[in-house]
Amino acid sequence: MRKSVVLPAAAVMLAAVALLLPLRGQEAVAEEAHAFVNVVDLEISPASMPRFLAALKDDGAATIKEAGTQEFVSSVAQKDKNHVFIFEVFNDSAAWDAHQKTTTYAKFLGITMMMIKTYAIRPFTSYALKKSSAPAPQADPPLLLNLDEVDVVDGQIDKFKAAAMTHAVASVQDPGCREFDIVVSQTKSNHVLMLSAFDAAAALEAHQASDHYKAYMAATKSIISMSTAMPLSSVAVLTK
C-alpha cells in the first residue's frame, strides 16, 4: 500500500536528492517480459499547482522520448485538486534507473521540490496494458481516469488476475474507453492497481453498466478484501 511521507520545507531537498537514487532490490525488480511501472502520489502546495503542472508537462514530454519509456500518464484527483497521480511505464527497472539519472529529471526535481508537501513512490509490475484500437477524438480534452486499487484474499490472486484480464480485454472494446491497465505491487503480491481511461463520464457510466463489468464484479466480489477508487482528470497521457 502507499506510504505517505510528510516533508517539512527543510527536508524536501534531501528527499528530492533521494529520489535521484535508483531503487534496488525487491522494490525495483520487474519480472521478465513485463514492464516496470512507477506509481507516484503527490500533494502539492495549492499556490504552486499551476507552476508544478507546467513543469510536470515538460518532464512528461521529455520522459516519453527516452528509449526505455513506454508511457507517461499524469493526472489530478477530481476531489482533491492538489493531489497529483503519475503512472510511468518503463521497459524494465534498468530503464527506470536510467531515467532517474537524466538531466531532465534532475531539472524537474530542482524546479518542484519546494512545491511538494508529501509524496509516495510505489513500484509495480505490469500484468496487462491494454489499449483501444479505435481512433482517438480529434479534440484533446482531459480524459477521465478511473483508479481502482484492491487487496486480494490470500491464495486467490491468480483467480483475480484472470477475471481482471478478461475484463480489461473487453473494456478496451467499449466506446470511449482508451486504455485499461492492470499492475501488481512489487512489495505486496496481493495488491493490484487498475487504471482505466475514458473520453468522458458518460463512457465510464456505460462501461460500468456493461455485461462484462457485471461479470467481473460477480467473479471477484468474494475474493477482494479491500477496494478503493479515485476519479482523476488527465494532465497528459503520452504513449509510444
pLDDT, tens digit (0-9, with 9 covering 90-100), for 165-199:
999 999 999 999 999 999 999 999 999 999 999 99
pLDDT category at 138 given cuts 50, 70, 90 is low
Between 33 and 191, the more confident residue is 191
Helix (H), strand (E) at residue 203: helix 201-208
Average pLDDT, the chain: 89
pLDDT score of 141: 77
Contact 207, 174 (CB under 8 A): yes
Mean per-residue pLDDT for 20-34? 44
C-alpha cell at 182: 492492470
Write the burial class of residue 216 (CB in 10 Å: 0-12 exposed, 13-18 middle, 19+ buried). Answer: buried
**pTM to 2 decimal places:** 0.86
pLDDT score of 135: 86
pLDDT per residue as tens digits for the range 197-229: 999 999 999 999 999 999 999 999 999 999 999
pLDDT score of 26: 38
Mean per-residue pLDDT for 117-126? 98
Query: 15 by DSSP, 3-state: which?
Result: helix
Mean per-residue pLDDT for 228-234? 97
Q: Indicate whether 32 pLDDT > 70.
A: no
pLDDT score of 33: 58
Q: What share of the chain is helix, strand, coil (3-state, %, to 5)?
A: 40, 35, 25
pLDDT score of 1: 45
Contact 212, 166 (CB under 8 A): yes
Q: Give the chain's radius of gyration (CA, Å).
A: 18
Q: Which of 203, 85, 229, 205 is closest to 141 using CA atoms? A: 203
pLDDT category at 120 given cuts 50, 70, 90 is very high
pLDDT score of 139: 59
pLDDT category at 8 given cuts 50, 70, 90 is low
pLDDT score of 13: 44
Least confident span in 7-11, 23-27, 59-63, 123-127: 23-27
